[in-house]
Amino acid sequence: MAFPFLSFLKRSQGPEAPGVHPQPFWSFRPRSDRESGDAIVSNFALHMFPAKVSRASLAWKYSFWLGTGSAALFLLLILSGGPLLFLYVPSVERAYASIKDIEYVVTFGSWLRSVHRVGAHLMVVVVALHLVRVFLTGAYKNGVGQGQKREWNWVIGVFLLLFTLLLSFTGYLLPWDQLAFWAVTVGTNIAASIPFVGPQVRELLIGGRAIDQPTLIRFYVLHIVVLPIAVGALFAYHMWRVRKDGGLAAVDKEARENELQEAPASSTKTYTLLGIARGTSPVIKATSISRLDKMVNAVPDLVRRANLVTLATIALISILATFVRSPLEEPANPLVTPNPAKAPWYFLWLQEIVTDTTIKIGSFTVNGAFVGGVVLPGLLVTLLILWPWLDRSPKEAAGVWFARARRRQNLVFLLLCAFVLTLTFVGTVMRGPYWHIYWPWEAWPDIPGRL
Amino acid sequence: MAEHKDRRDFMMKAGLGAGIAGLGLQAAASLRSLVPNVSYDAPTTVKIGMPTDFPDGLKFLPDQRLFVFREGKTFHAISAVCTHLGCTVRAEAMSQPETKEVDGVKMKLTHRFLCPCHGSRYEGDGKAVAGPAPRALAWYHLSISVDDGSLVVDLAQEVARDFRLTLA
């Protein structure tokens, strides 16, 4: 052969070693189970999927594919952030002008910025909905598989939501307009309200005592390097754990139902060789695995659906971004606070709480910023993280929408969600100048922007 | 042979320890570098203009975020930084000025202060009366510069609410 180093491209001839796949590439239209398996095993991007998945875990009505939607949005945010990296200048003198250029001068700049912004807002929504779905289906619960640690994947998920919020919030400052400046003023002063260490924490966050160049560069680096890497790494771990836990919790439900119908399992299936040796890999009873009528090949069934969700997400954002223009307010002015000054919408429920939680006992006063901005959200996040261990419902409730055994906790959870949504609505729509309540149909009084 | 194993074991642990120590120190140094040693803040003692530049009543100085009040020959200065989360409060003239005794000094309250961020309200002497503000607005020290007679505010020196600067 003229180019021996290209020999890998050539179909191998003669007797093959068992287990060595004969082709360098794979097919997304497999003609056999063997080809279908190869499409997973020999594909770097897809090796996180199993070769076969259960039909139950692909059901739209079970998961709504919200996790895939989140991942698609993250991908889209990385892609749309790329060109913005070339166009944006992270300097207090030039940041605003560079965003203005992106908005009004750069070809397609306004659209790209809108894709990035709409995608970011939607990612907050979709990731939050994903968490709600997992809670309501009890999908953080371990079912019939051995060695499952679904509760830890839930914890990773909570952190992914927090990082999503942080990503969005750090991006909020970058335009260096009034909206950005005062949202960050309020946000970092909440950190400063922590007793004893607050001022030092704020100083570390903003790199000084006033919001200035050090703050901008800190938020910028967090936004484009630190947080995306953190989200990417956690996402990979999140996916890997789904596999280690034997797939979505819906699979456990199905396996249990099969067990009821059939004779007890005679054999088990272990996913990995090492797992057999160590006894650490999830072992699913054969009834759930070997029922071939319940299983489909990941290629094409899973991959096709994932591609559809990704495509739909990209289409939705692309179309929305042509209609929704991204706002750019006046340049940041530390001397004038806009009236009203609002945090991003997903933090407005917290802004409502910090408005109402200043506690006065005699001459002793606890700043609402600490109660509503640090203590309450801290408690909520702690409770979310610990919930899988506090939930005492039977394992039969894993992977079931509104399981009877989890009725009360689902109700409390939904009430909490409704509470947060109500406060978000009040903060977004009903708060006018000086944070007074106005009905949506009431006009705000004319108040001069400057003194 | 035990001797060899001990030596290997020791080398392994020494290497591991050195690696952890090295990375740990690098990480500590990296994090420490992010804590600023110098803060290039605006100066806290600022000349804010000749006393004659100030009209009777209130003047807002956006650069210092400060309200300067003048009543004839007496001056006092109240911060415009909300004590809740640091937004700039706005002054609203009252239709009917009130007179109130503040820390033993009679004071005519001509304005009240409203915060646009979370709706805190303060009386004309800076006292927090509504909303989430945990403390009263700060009062700052005023003096006259010896070199040119202009008014000087010291934003690092809070004073009690009976403080007045009276010109001769």
**Mean pLDDT throughout A209-229?**
93
State which residues form the domain around B16.
1-40
Are residues B116 and A338, on separate chains, in Cβ contact within 8 Å? yes
Q: Which DSSP symbol is given to A141?
A: S
Which residues on chain A are in Cβ contact (under 8 Å) with B67? none
Contact A125, A255 (CB under 8 A): no
Report the C-alpha gap between B159 and B139 in whole angstroms: 5
- The residue behind tokens 């000054």 is A341
Are residues B36 and A357, on separate chains, in Cβ contact within 8 Å? no
Where do the DSSP E strands lie in A311-423?
359-361, 364-366
Are residues B87 and A356, on separate chains, in Cβ contact within 8 Å? no
Per-residue pLDDT for chain B (168 aa), expressed as one digit of tens each? 556 678 889 999 999 999 999 999 999 998 888 888 887 777 888 899 898 888 888 889 888 889 999 988 889 999 999 888 888 898 888 888 888 887 777 888 888 898 888 888 898 888 888 888 888 999 999 999 988 889 999 988 889 888 888 887
> Which one-letter amino acid corresponds to residue A418?
A
- Banded model confidence at residue A75, pLDDT cuts 50, 70, 90: very high
Dump pLDDT digits (tens) for A114-169: 999 999 999 999 999 999 999 999 999 998 877 889 999 999 999 999 999 999 99
* B24 & B72 share domain: no
Are residues B90 and A451, on separate chains, in Cβ contact within 8 Å? yes
* B51 & B107 share domain: yes
C-alpha radius of gyration, chain B, whole number: 28
**A57: Cβ contacts below 8 Å, ≥ 6 apart:** A63, A247, A248, A250, A251
> Which one-letter amino acid corresponds to residue A84?
L
**B110: Cβ contacts below 8 Å, ≥ 6 apart:** B57, B58, B69, B93, B94, B97, B124
A66-87 and A109-136 are packed helices; what angle lies between their axes, rounded to 10 degrees? 150
Which residues on chain B are in Cβ contact (under 8 Å) with A178? none
Angle at A203 between CA A199 and CA A205, to 5 degrees: 115
Structural domain tally of chain B? 2
Report the C-alpha gap between A202 and A374 in whole angstroms: 13
How many residues make up chain A in this entry? 451
Which residues on chain B are in Cβ contact (under 8 Å) with A340? 116-117
* B28 & B80 share domain: no
Nearest to A328 by CA among A80, A88, A123, A82: A88
Q: Where are the domains of chain A?
A: 52-342
Report the C-alpha gap between B106 and A185 in whole angstroms: 36
Question: In this model, does residue A174 exceed pLDDT 60?
Answer: yes
Q: Which two tokens stand for residue A104?
A: 């009004």
What local confidence, expressed as pLDDT, does residue A451 receive?
Answer: 41
Dump pLDDT digits (tens) for A361-418: 766 777 778 888 888 899 999 999 999 999 999 988 888 899 999 999 999 999 999 9
Nearest to A339 by CA among A426, A446, A422, A184: A446
- Encode B85-127 in three state secondary structure: CCCECEEEEEEEEEEEEECCEEEEEEEEEECCCCCCEECCCCC
Whether residue B44 lies within 8 A of chain A, CB to CB, comes out as no
Q: What is the mean pLDDT of chain A?
A: 84
Most confident of A192-201, A222-231, B24-33: A222-231
**DSSP string over A185-236:** HHHHHHHHTSTTTHHHHHHHHHTSSSSSHHHHHHHHHIIIIIHHHHHHHHHH
What local confidence, expressed as pLDDT, does residue A35 receive?
Answer: 81
* B31 & B79 share domain: no
Q: Sort strands A364-366 and B139-144 into parallel, antiparallel or unpaired.
A: unpaired
C-alpha radius of gyration, chain A, whole number: 26
Which of A3-12, A40-49, A229-238, A255-264 is the least confident region?
A3-12
- The residue behind tokens 């210092």 is B64
- Banded model confidence at residue A268, pLDDT cuts 50, 70, 90: low
Q: Would you list which residues of chain A are within 8 Å, Cβ to Cβ, of chain B? A: 182, 185-186, 189-190, 193, 203-204, 207-210, 214, 218, 335-341, 351, 354-358, 360, 365-369, 433-436, 451
Contact A109, A103 (CB under 8 A): yes
* B69 & B130 share domain: yes
Which residues on chain A are in Cβ contact (under 8 Å) with B84? 189, 354, 358, 367-369
* B101 & B121 share domain: yes
Helix (H), strand (E) at residue A57: helix A55-58
* B119 & B64 share domain: yes
The shortest C-alpha distance from A444 to chain B (Å) reads: 13
For testing contact with chain B, the best of A184, A194, A352, A434 (most B CBs within 10 A): A434
Instruction: Give long-range contacts, CB 8 A cutoff, 24+ apart: A24-29.
Output: A26/A299, A28/A299, A28/A300, A28/A303, A29/A300
* B112 & B145 share domain: yes
* B30 & B102 share domain: no
Report the percent of chain A where pLDDT is more than 90: 45
Residue A342, phi then psi, degrees to nearest 5: -115, 145
Q: How far is CA A116 from CA A223, A443, B83, in A?
A: 13, 32, 35
Residue B48, phi then psi, degrees to nearest 5: -115, 10
Which residues on chain A are in Cβ contact (under 8 Å) with B85? 185-186, 189-190, 193, 354, 369
- Residue predicted with more confidence, A276 or A307: A307
Q: Which two tokens stand for residue A324?
A: 């929704």
CA-based torsion, A71, A73, A79, A84: positive or negative: negative
What local confidence, expressed as pLDDT, does residue A1 receive?
Answer: 41
Question: In this model, does residue A95 exceed pLDDT 90?
Answer: yes
Are residues B118 and A354, on separate chains, in Cβ contact within 8 Å? yes
Residue B119: which of A182, A209, A436 has the nearest Cβ? A436
Report the C-alpha gap between A57 and A164 in whole angstroms: 25
* B153 & B100 share domain: yes
Whether this prediction's pTM lies above 0.95 is answered by no
* B35 & B49 share domain: no
The neighbouring-strand residues paired with B98 are: B109
* B63 & B33 share domain: no
**DSSP string over A64-119:** TTHHHHHHHHHHHHHHHHHHHHHH---STTTHHHHHHHHHHTSTTHHHHHHHHHHH
Q: Tell me the fold of A52-342.
A: Cytochrome Bc1 Complex; Chain C (1.20.810)
Whether residue B88 lies within 8 A of chain A, CB to CB, comes out as yes
Q: Which DSSP symbol is given to B130?
A: E
Dump pLDDT digits (tens) for A295-350: 888 888 899 999 999 999 999 999 999 999 888 888 888 777 787 878 888 888 88
- Banded model confidence at residue A13, pLDDT cuts 50, 70, 90: very low
What local confidence, expressed as pLDDT, does residue A284 receive?
Answer: 55
What local confidence, expressed as pLDDT, does residue B6 receive?
Answer: 87
Instruction: Give long-range contacts, CB 8 A cutoff, 24+ apart: A417-422.
Output: A417/A132, A420/A349, A421/A349
CA-based torsion, A160, A163, A164, A165: positive or negative: positive
For testing contact with chain B, the best of A203, A353, A451 (most B CBs within 10 A): A451
- Banded model confidence at residue A266, pLDDT cuts 50, 70, 90: very low
- In this prediction, the answer to ipTM > 0.90 reads no
Are residues A354 and B85, on separate chains, in Cβ contact within 8 Å? yes
Return the half-sphere exposure (C-beta side, CA atoms, 13 A cut-off) of residue A437.
5
